[in-house]
Structure 1
């Protein structure tokens, strides 16, 4: 194992080069390296500090456990999401009663676990520093030139990297995607999202609560300790801007009122941010010797805990495709290797994108037929047992083409602690 930093002018070679040091890129690089694939991780560490957390669903937790990052580095700082509660606060004539979904109904102790994004990234980074078959290259990629047998990455500091497959995990404004010719569709919503961390007087009891308002979802997600939660407040663009300009005390009072004081008095207990509400999809997540994962391949508004969980499924699925080719002596960057990955990821991303988009637009529509359909759907999920359980299972982890390291029955304890 060697983690020597190459000198300027060096050319480093590997089977796979992952570009991007966020959670998706780190997870992909770790998964490939632990499967015995010589891998380079290219990118500088960029700490997350805007009050965002991530609700890691059960499949993502299984993946992180397989990578060795979960039990000691993340689990002690994560809160279980044992119950999901949805409250229609839209003012609709067809407003259904609050719906509560219990993880125990599908045999889980929690649907997922909520952790601060910065802690997740640092945990993966710590594992990457000591992983066999993984070399960290602390530099930005300036350009990528795909060749017949390898692709060449030119780094901003003058060094070069050669790999048979380049993985673009370089974010929503991905330079690798932009240079690849991959077709992109982008859209936006007339909304913004406020994110922060709250302390509150009443315990959350491991219940994640989502209010469906006419401006978008308002979500409180448990954090460890019982009296802290993360906030994602989706509202109109102007309202989001005004909220972001409030001082801490006034913002806490606004959150408390919007939450119907269900958690008592609140105060701001961490950094905060304002997130644009936009989406992005690609015609294909692959090009010649290139695979895109995470936000380089799809961008979601912060609704429904789909964004990073989908990115981790990208990483786990890519690991399956590449390691199968590597073990069989086939080219991990060849089109035949990437075609199956591309088909499965397109389907997963498009289904999740459509669901998030439909929910958000249904709240904004303010049309009686749309309100009626949304209300009937939530009522059906609340009262029809088989449908209820099927929706919960699919929300936690799609069963079709689930990546190997995310599947149930891999010997993990059901209690993720």
Structure 2
């Protein structure tokens, strides 16, 4: 009796949005793909603002048509300096039509996005699902084997760690990480409010971190990401719904009128993580397995989906030429491009967050001048908007 494990070109470990997107993208190209992981979305009131490149990627997978009715366009971004700084600039306004887009992106509940991708994965030809946790990784010159908590092992020429910030695949592969934390946490929830949001996302910069309201469908619902000190965040999380809604309304300067809590809520510690390299022998990392930082500026999942789209390009190029997709040489371009993108996005988010926490006058002045420059200098503003939506250099093919 043959006891050898099932073999695939690629085995993706992790059933979050980045892992699902990559597995679907590979299977659609006829690449024998396994998806390993349990489907367990967390109801914590989190949403994701899918920027234009991510929407193009989901559309190429055939998933966007299912997601779009549950997403709200982000046509404008307003930034309000609420730090009390002496160098406080006037509110900044960024409009998507200035760079030729109907919206910078679309905001959708995270659980809805994952459920849609999971449904696609269940019926995708060429994609085999193993709904079990991965518990081990062994590699040799020709292939890798993934041990499963339930069932036998799975073999592949390339293993992809898409299993989050506490990635077991990354740990098993011995890929070095750098981790750090901030003295903050984020309250996340869904809100109903009296006044319409008019497809405007508003971000208040406070001394404790950004307070962001992002539109949801219907005109009178928004998602909240309120980054503040760890202690205050914990106390806010313990409030009754009515008291929390009043606190949110006050922090938002009543711009959307009376509010009520309209969904689950979460309390998210603010942490960061980066890797020395997103690749190793027979393994590549995508999403939060490769980089994690605070939920600021809608960069996290969008960066993870760019990882997925870029790795799809890398694997497709190798297999089309008859090369081994798990070989170091085949992954070298992916490693270079994704390391640069991740470093730039991590640095931008980290710098903004730390600048808000600092009360040093020179830092306040630089932050205020930077925002004022983006507001008043048209070419600079348009460059920043375009790069925020999708980097032009080295954009994956399905996102162009």
TM-score, with normalisation over the residues of structure 1? 0.95
Question: 5+ residue gaps in structure 1?
Answer: 1-8, 408-417
| Aligned mates of 1:156, 1:12 — CA distance in 2 | 16
Provide the residue aligned with 2:25 in structure 1.
31
Counterpart pick for 2:360 among 367, 371, 389: 367
Shift of 1:126: 1.1
| 1:10 Cα offset (Å) | 7.0
Partner of 1:22: 16
Runs of 4 or more consecutive aligned structure 1 residues displaced over 4 Å after TM superposition: none
Report the secondary structure of 1:159's partner residue: coil
- Structure 2 residues without counterparts, runs of 5 or longer: none
Kindly state the Cα deviation for residue 154 of structure 1 after the two structures are TM-superposed: 1.1
1:323-382 Cα deviation digits (max 9, x unpaired)? 010111000000011111000000000000000000000000111100000000000000
Q: Distance in 2 between matches of 1:103 and 1:364?
A: 29
CA contact (8 A) 1:10 1:159 kept: no
**1:172-187 correspondence to structure 2 within 5 Å:** 172-187=165-180
SS of corresponding position for 1:400: coil
Q: Distance in 2 between matches of 1:392 and 1:36?
A: 36
Q: 1:260 deviation in Å?
A: 0.1
Match of 2:124 among 131, 134, 157: 131
Task: Give per-residue Cα distances to partners, 1:53-76, cap 9 Å, x unaligned.
Answer: 0000000000000000001x1000
What SS does the aligned partner of 2:357 have?
helix
Deviations 1:116-157 (A, max 9, x none): 000000111111111111111111111010111110111111
Q: What's 1:56 paired with?
A: 50
The equivalent residue for 1:413 is none
CA distance in 1, matches of 2:129, 2:105: 30
Aligned to 2:243: 250
CA distance in 1: counterparts of 2:155 and 2:113, whole angstroms = 29
The counterpart of 2:218, out of the listed 222, 225, 228, is 225
Deviation of the 1:40 alpha carbon? 0.3
1:166-201 CA-partner distances (Å, limit 9, x unpaired):
000011100111111111000000001000000000
Counterpart Cα distance in 2 of 1:167 and 1:111: 29
CA distance in 1, matches of 2:189, 2:248: 10
Alignment of 1:276-355 (within 5 A): 276-355=269-348
CA RMSD of aligned residues (A): 0.7
Cα displacement string for residues 272-298 of structure 1 (whole angstroms, at most 9, x for unaligned residues): 000000000000000100000000000
Task: Report what 1:356 is aligned to.
Answer: 349
* Separation (CA, whole Å) in 2 of partners of 1:85 and 1:110: 14
Paired residues in the alignment total 398
Distance of 1:352 and 1:117 partners within structure 2: 21
Q: 2:40 aligned to 23, 46, 57, which one?
A: 46
C-alpha distance in 1 between matches for 2:283 and 2:186: 32
